[in-house]
Amino acid sequence: EPEVTQTPSHQVTQMGQEVILRCVPISNHLYFYWYRQILGQKVEFLVSFYNNEISEKSEIFDDQFSVERPDGSNFTLKIRSTKLEDSAMYFCASRAGTSGEQFFGPGTRLTVL
């Protein structure tokens, strides 16, 4: 069964450093998402991506964040200068159509020291 994959599973970085979180969505899906979950809190939407551009972003997704689909398979989230409060689990998700369910990857735990 096809699945969304994410690498790395855990990333530790120093405050102010850049990090890139990687995702491989399900191959025939057209809509891509990033969410985050701060420990003990609910899952929050960050950004959606369709047709090679951002379709919607939340207030969390400020200028420090960017997304890219550099080739036909990868979908990346970049945080330019990490802050302590960026520590969270980051989930990638993809969806085939507009009303179907989103399929989530296992997540990347980002720890900013």
Partner 1 sequence: AQSVAQPEDQVNVAEGNPLTVKCTYSVSGNPYLFWYVQYPNRGLQFLLKYITGDNLVKGSYGFEAEFNKSQTSFHLKKPSALVSDSALYFCAANDYKLSFGAGTTVTVRA
Q: Which residues bind partner 1 (CB under 8 A)?
A: 4, 33, 35, 41-45, 48, 55-56, 91, 93, 98-107
Closest CB to partner 1 among residues 4, 19: 4
| Rounded-to-integer distance, Cα 23 and Cα 108, Å | 9
Residue 38: alpha-carbon gap to chain centroid? 13
φ, ψ of residue 93 in degrees (nearest 5): -145, 155
Identify the DSSP state of 40.
T
d(CA 86, CA 18): 11
Shortest distance (Å) from residue 79 CB to partner 1: 19
Closest CB 111 distance from partner 1, rounded Å: 14
Q: Which is nearer to partner 1, 14 or 98 (CB)?
A: 98
Output the smallest distance, CB 81 to partner 1, in A. 25
Pick the closer one to partner 1 by CB: 4 or 112: 4
